[in-house]
Amino acid sequence: MEIRILEKEEQQSIYDDAYKMLEAADNEFVPPLSSRSSSTQRNFSENLKSRDGIRQYFEQLKNQRFAVAYEDGALIAFVSYKENYSSAEIHKKELPNIYISTLIVSPSARGKGVTKALYGRLFSEYENINIFTRTWSTNIAHIKILEKYGFKVIQVIKDDRGNGIDTVYFKKVHK
């Protein structure tokens, strides 16, 4: 397995494969990616399927950086992230930072340490700066991974993604 952080000018080479991965994983997300306007959307109460599927979401990802995992030359996973991101939940005083917006591992590569390898690469590349992400409260597998790697809950937005489904923001705590 090869893990790389792509330079901006290299990213276009993965767009077709990344788009296919997004389409395949659409309904694994809460809400589905196709019902979102961007990877940093803050209001999930309007859960409407887009007529263009995940295209709008994907177009937003193109403005981000990518860490990728390849196996035998094929893209098997990616993480998209924003550098120096601020929002109502992530304040400017937290700069410099990265905000991990999307993580997708192809089903055939799951359970093989790909997520660990991607996070490890990001941690070494962005050592000693703040790393943020968010997920939904019923995404237990990902929450366990985040906690294992030193992420701590910094904010919970109750019922943000539906009845009983909260949005949970995390920050990586450096040792």
Q: In what order do the strands lie in the sheet with 65-71?
A: 2-5, 65-71, 74-83, 97-105, 130-136, 167-172, 151-157
pTM of the model: 0.90
pLDDT for the residue 103: 96
Q: Mind listing the domains of the chain with CATH numbers?
A: 2-132 (3.40.630.30)
pLDDT (tens, 9 = 90+) of the chain, 175 residues, equals: 999 999 999 999 999 999 999 999 999 999 888 888 767 766 665 545 555 668 888 998 999 999 999 999 999 999 999 999 999 899 999 999 999 999 999 999 999 999 999 999 999 999 989 999 999 999 999 999 999 999 999 999 999 888 999 999 999 977 5
